[in-house]
Amino acid sequence: MTVLLAFLAHPDDESFGIGGTLAKYARAGVDVHYLCATRGESGTVDDHRLEGFADVAELRDGELACASKALGLKSYEYFGYRDSGMQGSTHNAHADSFAQADADEAARRLTEVVLRLRPDVIITHDQYGGYGHPDHIACHKATLRMYEQLWGVRISSGPRGEAIAVSGDASGPISPGDLKAPRLYYSTLPKTFVKWGVRFLRLTGQNPRGFGRNKDIDLVKIASWDLPVTARIDIRAVADIKREASACHASQQMPQQNQSLFQRIFFRRQTVESFTQAYPAFPANGRITSDLLRD
């Protein structure tokens, strides 16, 4: 049985970001698991959404359960850290936040999950955390540290944002046994569209440095963080499933009337999801692939 593990930061990352890819592989018979680093406790939620729930974490867990069913996931579980909030948030300093986690401890926890699930493919966030979120970056760092400890694979970033993998001696106390290092991909957003969005928002009198539900996403900075796309997954056949799963996370969506035209165009016209291959090393002259399971 082929196994895919998505290791992302919050309830909703599995749907908003790579939901089409997860749904596509689940429909193809792959066992797709989601390891969610936090319960999204720091997410902004309208008061009426909390009716019937003890707190934000319980609400968002219910939303993730709904989305996981829609996507066809084999399982989802939590990594055990607290949501750190956006960069500069007071939540960053919480002792249990993922932003404060010890890198070796996070790698050890991830190792336990990986040795239990034995994935053939792992998907996580890129080195920039997608849009700079501390928890996204912590997922990235924990994953790379695990590869170094378990398999002696050291992954760094090149001048174009590309992943560079070098094999060496494993540095961790746990042996991977017969489990080979899984293929590793970063979820990434092609920056051509983001750059177009920056221009569009400025032309329409909107601030590209204050984007999103909480106006705390800087599209100008995001546009400067580029990674080479090495895989594009066609999600047209599962677009309705992705929309269904995304709708489960109602607390994290902006009301329709408050969404910008840029947002509406992106989500309605998104037909592919993009990834950067981190391990094994992607050939310098390699062609963009359409399958995460093979070259």
Is residue 203 situated within a structural domain? no
Is residue 289 situated within a structural domain? no
- Tens of pLDDT, residue by residue over 126-161, are 998 888 889 999 999 999 999 999 999 999 998 888
Tell the residue number behind the tokens 């957003």, with chain if given: 189
Number of domains in the chain: 1
Rounded Cα–Cα distance for residues 12 and 9 (Å) = 9
Instruction: With a cut of 70, list the residues of the chain below it in pLDDT.
Output: 208, 210, 212-216, 254-269
For 25, counting Cβ atoms within 10 Å of its Cβ (0-12 exposed, 13-18 middle, 19+ buried), the class is: buried
CATH number at residue 38: 3.40.50.10320
Is residue 52 situated within a structural domain? yes
Is residue 83 situated within a structural domain? yes
Domain encompassing residue 108: 3-190+227-259+270-279
Question: pLDDT at position 183, please?
Answer: 98
Is residue 129 situated within a structural domain? yes
pTM as predicted: 0.90
Is residue 110 situated within a structural domain? yes
Question: pLDDT at position 143, please?
Answer: 98
Is residue 222 situated within a structural domain? no
Neighbours of 106 (CB within 10 A): 22
